[in-house]
């Protein structure tokens, strides 16, 4: 007798605990939403300040504008350290965001467990007595509501810690994804919040009573085994994942992930390879630039000395001028060849990166569309138009356009192509994908170095002109040497790695869903049927 009392009381207590968790989150949702909105605003402000320091990824520029912006950025005081400070600031904001998303996960977990809770345990009966203020119908209503909205919970099946990393190139996607979470939960609470708003607290569990006096030993043992199995089903995270798919077969999702995932991972590997090659080319170009500029400085000095000594040496110092000019020409040729080589190599790898992004998105959209079909099952439970909000706005980074914007951002770094602001993170149908192979990553520097290289041979007769070229050479020596010392990662390669990490996190989340569905396959039908079995002797079989 006491075993049945303990098992049944525990199952009911756990159910009331999940209901309390859902109610508390619903009651505090306005505060939760305000906190997330503030974090979103902070992230957007960080992006704006980052754009002012380095507008590479956000503004369309002509070649002259690129040249001016390059010079402007080059003479900023420690732009890299300023960007690093902003990334640290983003990290602090995201710490609060992750805490908020952990609260959301607690809510989602409670809703999932309520969705796979037995309705029959909470059918009117003579065995179980609930606390005075809780009716069986109230509990059943919460369970039914949880089942209605559970397909929408697929929106939140993402590893927040690996997705919301403090990477400035991803900040726009992060703000959009967070806004998506806010809108999705807001929609759920607005449509179903009243079902959760029960007068319930955990202290009520003390008033739960079980009266098995009219039960036989055999019936009690069956109920004990039954409740233990119900608890096992509720705690099975793989079955809960399967249950989110409701009436839509999960086989389609498993198949499409199995078909597309290997190809998508290969595309991400190609992006990483492009990043490595871009950095390698950049390093070689910087070394060549330092070497060539050093030769240019020496040649300029010889030319100046030769020109200055002409009145004193009666033309004997012209040898120094010739030597200086020769070194200037050598430096100019080296700089020009380096610039052209860098442009050609970068053209190849940026084109490859763009093609990888395009291929990736074709496969990415297929998986997202499959999940959208699952989430649309909740359409009848939401107010008109709200399912479009949850499935449309609520998919954020999963939308093909948002990831397509990744290719646009590469294009921005490469050739100044337009990328929209945070409010336009979704680009319709991914049509904004562009060829990113038209220019070198730092076209401003190319705009400076190209003419400079061609003009170095003109040093011969002008001390002032030689002084200008020496100053420019020293500038590039200093800048390129500092870049080499700091690791030599280009803006494009930083973007590729940041976006690649974000995309890989999404694929890992989908793979985890797929693995859970596979593990639940054997027991899924059996568990669903068991949830419909009557719990109390003499009560007819129910329906879920």
Q: Are 428 and 401 in contact (CB under 8 A)?
A: yes
pLDDT of residue 359: 80
CA 392 to chain centre: 17
| Terminal CA-CA length for the chain | 29
- List the structure tokens of 45: 């402000």
SS3 129: strand
Each residue's pLDDT, cut to its tens digit, for the chain (544 residues) gives: 789 999 999 999 999 999 999 999 998 999 999 999 999 999 999 999 998 887 655 444 555 455 555 555 555 556 778 889 999 999 999 999 999 999 999 999 999 999 999 999 999 988 999 888 888 998 999 999 999 999 999 989 999 999 999 999 899 889 989 998 999 899 888 877 777 777 766 666 677 888 888 889 999 999 999 999 999 999 999 999 999 998 888 999 999 999 999 999 988 888 888 777 777 666 555 555 545 544 444 444 444 444 444 454 544 444 444 444 454 545 454 554 445 444 545 556 567 677 777 788 888 888 988 998 888 876 655 555 544 544 443 344 443 333 334 434 433 333 332 233 322 332 222 222 222 222 333 444 444 454 444 444 444 444 444 444 545 555 554 555 455 445 556 777 788 888 889 999 999 999 999 999 999 988 999 999 999 999 998 655 444 4
DSSP state for residue 426 in the 8-state scheme: P
- List the structure tokens of 145: 């509501």
Closest listed residue to residue 395, CA positions, set 157, 45, 58, 112: 157
pLDDT of residue 75: 52
The answer, as to whether pTM is greater than 0.75, is no
Q: In Å, what is the CA distance from 407 to each residue of 77, 80, 172, 539?
A: 30, 23, 14, 60
* φ, ψ (nearest 5 deg) of residue 126: -100, 0
Q: How many CB atoms lie within 10 A of CB 147?
A: 21
**Using one digit for the tens of pLDDT, what is the confidence trace for 170-189?**
998 899 899 989 998 998 88
Dmax (CA) of the chain = 127
* φ, ψ (nearest 5 deg) of residue 4: -65, -45
Residues 6+ apart with CB under 8 A from 68: 444
**Using one digit for the tens of pLDDT, what is the confidence trace for 320-354?**
444 444 545 454 545 544 454 445 455 565 676 77
Give the H or E element holding residue 210: strand 209-210
pLDDT of residue 379: 61
- List the structure tokens of 108: 């989602």
pLDDT of residue 92: 97
Tokens 């646009």, residue located: 408
Interatomic CA distance for residues 165 and 169, integer angstroms: 11
């Amino acid at each position: 007798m006491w075993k049945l009392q303990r098992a049944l009381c525990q199952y009911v207590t756990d159910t009331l605990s999940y209901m309390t968790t859902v109610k508390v989150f619903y009651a505090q949702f306005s505060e939760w939403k305000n906190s997330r909105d503030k974090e979103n605003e902070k992230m957007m402000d960080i992006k704006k300040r980052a754009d002012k320091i380095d507008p590479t990824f956000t503004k369309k520029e002509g070649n002259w504008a690129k040249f001016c912006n390059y010079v402007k950025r080059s003479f900023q005081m420690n732009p890299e350290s300023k960007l690093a400070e902003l990334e640290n600031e983003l990290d602090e904001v995201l710490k609060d965001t992750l805490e908020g998303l952990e609260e959301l996960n607690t809510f989602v977990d409670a809703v999932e467990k309520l969705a796979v809770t037995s309705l029959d345990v909470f059918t009117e009966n003579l065995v179980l007595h609930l606390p005075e203020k809780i009716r069986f119908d109230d509990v059943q209503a919460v369970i039914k509501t949880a089942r209605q909205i559970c397909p929408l919970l697929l929106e939140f099946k993402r590893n927040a810690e690996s997705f919301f990393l403090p990477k400035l190139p991803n900040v726009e996607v992060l703000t959009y994804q967070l806004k998506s979470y806010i809108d999705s939960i807001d929609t759920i609470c607005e449509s179903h919040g009243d079902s959760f708003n029960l007068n319930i607290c955990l202290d009520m569990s003390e008033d739960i009573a079980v009266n098995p006096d009219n039960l036989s030993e055999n019936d009690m043992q069956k109920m004990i085994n039954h409740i233990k199995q119900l608890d096992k089903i509720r705690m099975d995270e793989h079955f809960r994942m399967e249950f989110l798919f409701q009436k839509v077969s999960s086989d389609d999702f498993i198949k499409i992930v199995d078909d597309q995932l290997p190809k998508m991972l290969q595309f991400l590997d190609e992006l990483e390879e492009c990043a490595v090659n871009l950095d390698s080319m950049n390093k070689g170009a910087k070394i060549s630039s330092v070497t060539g500029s050093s030769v240019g400085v020496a040649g300029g000095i010889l030319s100046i000395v030769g020109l200055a000594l002409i009145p004193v040496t009666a033309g004997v110092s012209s040898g120094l001028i010739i030597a200086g000019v020769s070194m200037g020409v050598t430096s100019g040729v080296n700089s020009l060849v380096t610039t052209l080589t860098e442009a050609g190599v970068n053209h190849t790898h940026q084109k490859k990166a763009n093609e990888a992004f395009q291929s990736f998105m074709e496969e990415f959209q297929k998986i997202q569309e499959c999940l959208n079909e699952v989430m649309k099952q909740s359409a009848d439970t939401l107010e008109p138009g709200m399912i479009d909000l949850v499935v449309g706005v609520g998919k954020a980074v999963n939308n093909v356009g948002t990831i397509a914007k990744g290719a646009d951002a590469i294009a921005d770094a490469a050739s100044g192509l337009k990328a929209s602001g945070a409010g336009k993170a979704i680009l319709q149908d991914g049509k904004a994908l562009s060829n990113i192979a038209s220019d070198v990553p730092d076209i401003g520097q190319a705009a400076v170095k190209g003419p400079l290289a061609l003009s170095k041979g003109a040093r011969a007769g002008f001390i002032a002109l030689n002084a200008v070229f020496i100053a420019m050479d020293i500038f590039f020596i200093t800048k390129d040497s500092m870049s080499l010392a700091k690791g030599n990662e280009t803006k494009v390669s930083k973007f590729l790695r940041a976006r690649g990490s974000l995309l890989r996190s999404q694929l890992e989340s989908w793979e985890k869903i797929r693995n859970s569905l596979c593990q639940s396959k054997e027991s899924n039908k059996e568990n669903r049927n068991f949830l419909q079995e009557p719990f109390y002797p003499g009560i007819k079989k129910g329906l879920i």
